[in-house]
Chain A
């Protein structure tokens, strides 16, 4: 079946450091790919998405590129801030439907220290 694998956390960085959180997926067809973020005490928020190969999603300084050849969607940010501390989830939606369920990775906790 379809699945998503994320790098294990927690990831601890100093402010202004470069961030990479790895995400790889297994899926048939051409899924849509997402990054969601969960701040402490809050619900999941969509951070960015990409719906086809080579698309780059971006938001709030975060970027991820849909790489079909490596089945990856790694999240990057050039300079993290303390306010970026949160849990980040990579997810896919199967290609057959615009309303299909999301399949999530296990989440990666990011802690940014001043």
Chain B
């Protein structure tokens, strides 16, 4: 079974530029999460989707971050404009709510550096 795929793996941009990350969850996983992991900290949830609907985006900085999952499969996370403090690893995870006890499976992450 293929795991969670993310791209790109690394991205370097200057502040005020925009950037987008892509995630392809495990096939059949209806629930998808985006987490932000700042260096030296644990991941923190940005947004959670159930199919193509948003379940929780309470921690998403909506003035600059946006995310979508239009067809209930792939998802993109966008930052516009980026700030220095957005430098972090962006992790995508997915789960099948009807099996596996809700275990979340993580992708390799996208490492973003904002200069």
Contacts and interface: CB of A to CB of B under 8 A. Distances in A.
13 contacts: A43-B4, A44-B43, A44-B106, A51-B101, A89-B43, A93-B102, A98-B101, A99-B95, A99-B102, A102-B45, A104-B42, A106-B42, A107-B40
B108 A101 contact: no
Nearest to B104: A102
A43 B109 contact: yes
Closest 9 CB pairs of A and B: A104-B42, A98-B102, A44-B106, A101-B45, A43-B108, A43-B106, A99-B31, A99-B97, A106-B42
Given A4-B42, A101-B48, A107-B41, A43 B101 contact: no
Contacts of A89: 42-43
A49 B56 contact: no
Nearest to A4: B42
A106 B106 contact: no
Contacts of B25: none
Interface residues of B, number: 27
A71 interface: no
Task: Indicate the member of B35, B95, B106 with the most A CB atoms within 10 Å.
Answer: B106
B101 A106 contact: no
Interface residues of A, number: 23
Contacts of A32: 101-102
Contact of B108 (A42, A49, A102): A42
Contacts of B107: 43
Interface string B34-53: 01000011111100101000
A49 B101 CA distance: 10
A93 B4 CA distance: 20
Interface string A13-57: 000000000000000000010001000001111100101000000
Contacts of B105: 46
Interface in A65-114: 89, 91, 93, 97-102, 104-107
